């Protein structure tokens, strides 16, 4: 590998102490200064004087330093570090994610699954019907990694919604439901779930449309469109606004030929999903 050349700098000349300065023209040549013109101090003498001054100054500094550190260990060399910032509470989207994550679960049906979120303090979890299709018993993985059994208590295939029930709901944290009718295009939102099995994944985006007509379940329905990244495994997870309120149930994406996310995702509006969940729980 070729370098960028050899570094260059001024060449320093050391003159031995007591050396006799030759005339400017060299041995056997008369001085070039005209008679009566003050001659500048020879360069050799300047270097000698500078060397003597540096030696005296260095010696003095060495004595002072020795006295200062006499009887103590020399300080260890340390690179400068940025001072630790004072701890402060989370704000913005960090606070929103921290508020919602304890309510979000992964749904495992053995060989497949999706996401869901706790909707009340009785152990009910809302997800998509296609996530649990054909299963009565599922495993729910909580945000702290614990795996607990759950059963499917009801589905609405037309709306692609299902409700699960956990037998021990004591330590579950219900999500706060908002109003999808209050959404506006451009509002900031988060999608939370387990895309490709990566539990607790948070992605951010905006509301792209509030009433996009798409095929959900067995019919065409209106949905909230978002550019927050949604991928397989996000199904059933919450779409939340900047206040941490659930405004939709992430359900589908528009995919290109490669099958990945292209920034067009759809969520069932919570204003439509919540009454269906209440009906399933009630019956």
Q: 269: closest CA among 180, 185, 193?
A: 180
How far apart are alpha carbons 245 and 174 in whole angstroms? Answer: 11
How far apart are alpha carbons 156 and 142 in whole angstroms? Answer: 24
Is residue 130 flagged as an active site residue? yes
Our CA angle for 165, 214, 111, nearest 5°, is 45
DSSP 72-85: SPPPPP----PPPP
In the block, tokens 């921290």 appear at 98
For the record, the structure tokens of 274 come out as 């919540």
Which backbone phi and psi does 139 adopt, to 5 degrees? -115, 130
Q: Which of 135, 180, 208, 235 is catalytic?
A: 235
Q: Do 206 and 187 meet the contact criterion of CB atoms below 8 Å apart? A: yes
Local structure of 247: helix, strand or coil = strand
Q: Which of 108, 115, 130, 135 is catalytic?
A: 130
How far apart are alpha carbons 225 and 210 in whole angstroms? Answer: 6
For the record, the structure tokens of 6 come out as 């050899």
Is residue 171 flagged as an active site residue? no
How far apart are alpha carbons 208 and 185 in whole angstroms? Answer: 5
Q: Which of 160, 180, 199, 208 is catalytic?
A: 160
How far apart are alpha carbons 151 and 164 in whole angstroms? Answer: 5
Is residue 124 flagged as an active site residue? no
Phi and psi based region of residue 241 (left: phi greater than 0; alpha: psi -120 to 50; beta: remaining) = beta
Active site positions, annotated: 130, 160, 235
């Amino acid at each position: 590998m070729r370098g960028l050349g050899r570094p260059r700098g001024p060449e320093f000349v050391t003159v031995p102490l007591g050396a006799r300065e030759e005339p400017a023209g060299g041995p056997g040549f008369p001085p070039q200064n005209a008679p009566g013109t003050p001659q500048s101090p020879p360069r050799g003498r300047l270097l000698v004087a500078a060397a003597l001054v540096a030696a005296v100054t260095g010696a003095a500094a060495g004595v002072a330093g020795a006295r200062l550190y006499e009887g103590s260990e020399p300080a260890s060399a340390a690179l400068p570090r940025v001072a630790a910032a004072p701890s402060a509470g989370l704000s913005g989207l960090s606070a929103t994610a921290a508020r919602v994550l304890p309510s979000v679960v992964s749904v495992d049906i053995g060989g497949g699954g999706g996401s869901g979120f706790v909707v009340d303090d009785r152990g009910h979890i809302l997800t998509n019907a296609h996530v649990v299709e054909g299963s009565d018993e599922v495993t729910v993985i909580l945000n702290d990694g614990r795996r607990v059994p759950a059963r499917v208590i009801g589905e609405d295939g037309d709306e692609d919604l299902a409700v699960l029930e956990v037998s021990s709901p004591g330590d579950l944290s219900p999500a706060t439901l908002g109003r999808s009718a209050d959404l506006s295009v451009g509002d900031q939102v988060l999608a939370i779930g387990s895309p490709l099995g990566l539990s607790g994944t948070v992605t951010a985006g905006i509301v792209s449309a509030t009433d996009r007509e798409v095929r959900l379940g067995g019919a065409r329905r209106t949905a909230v469109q978002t550019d927050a990244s949604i991928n397989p495994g996000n199904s059933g997870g919450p779409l939340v606004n900047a206040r941490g309120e659930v405004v939709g149930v992430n359900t589908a994406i528009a995919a290109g030929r490669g099958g990945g996310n292209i920034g067009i995702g759809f969520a069932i509006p919570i204003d439509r999903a919540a009454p269906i969940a209440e009906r399933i729980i009630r019956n």
